[in-house]
Amino acid sequence: MRFWGVRGSIACPGEKTVRYGGNTSCVEIRCGDRLLIFDAGTGAKPFGKELAAAGVVDADYFFSHTHFDHIVGIPFFLPAYIPKNRLEMWAGHLKPDHTMEQILRLAMTDPLFPVPLDVLQAQITFHDFEAGETLDPRPGIRVRTAPLNHPNGATGYRVEYDGKAVCYVTDTEHTIGTLDANILGLIEGADVMIYDSTYTDEEFDTYVGWGHSTWQEGVRLCQEAGVGTLAIFHHDPDHDDAAMDKIAKAARAAFPGAVVAKEGLTLKP
Ligand SMILES: [Zn+2]
Ligand SMILES: [Zn+2]
């Protein structure tokens, strides 16, 4: 797995975020020769450029949800413009009122965007499911899902392949003192969990109701569910490199399997 964008809410390029990166959520997961992508934040722009240069793209694209910071990269994702490419797009938070195609169409509407969704010439298939369903996108790859606690809904994912399990759990808010049963069920015994760690426990009081969690809650979930590695993710754009270094040090002391996700980081479970 490789991180292309690790920020929450809004991209934050600049000299104070250059080491951890300023792009919003985008994660590449490879299962053998299969490509799975999670979210299309601004990190999807550089990722798409590299993918398009490498050849034909045939990928499954999973969305945690459709807030701007997770879809803004789609109109700039180069493989979506190339006719021979194939993209299966999955979303679990929109039924029954909306569909993924409808929301992307809406985002690429005059006067919000200069060209409509139809300019994307790849073969795109939309799959709207209900968070909690188990998906079998390709032979040998099982994707389990669970609903998360986030305004307008969001979906957590667990990818199982070749005896390994990797979880992608963002955006979600916890309740102080109660571990989220949906998340515990999803991440049980997983090798890696990527987790919404927008805030610290010390900051959290100010942000109750904003739909995000803390790295300390990620540690508690991993400890309870026996997860090996916690990837601290969806960083607050106001947390500069110095703040992230402090979080990395404190997190490692609290849980030896904790790593702070940064652009370019690769993990192999
Ligand atoms: Zn977000
Ligand atoms: Zn969100």
Whole-number pLDDT of residue 71 = 98
pLDDT digits (tens, 9 = 90+) for 214-235: 999 999 999 999 999 999 999 9
pLDDT digits (tens, 9 = 90+) for 82-133: 999 999 999 999 999 999 999 999 999 999 999 999 999 999 999 999 999 9
- Please tell me the number of the ligand nearest to residue 25's CA: 1
Whole-number pLDDT of residue 28 = 98
Amino acid at 245: D
How would residue 32 be classed by pLDDT, with cut points 50, 70 and 90?
A: very high
- Please tell me the number of the ligand nearest to residue 65's CA: 2
**Residue 84 Cα to ligand 1 middle (Å):** 31
Question: Mean pLDDT, to the nearest integer, of 37-42?
Answer: 98
pTM above 0.85, yes or no: yes
- Please tell me the number of the ligand nearest to residue 41's CA: 1
How would residue 12 be classed by pLDDT, with cut points 50, 70 and 90?
A: very high
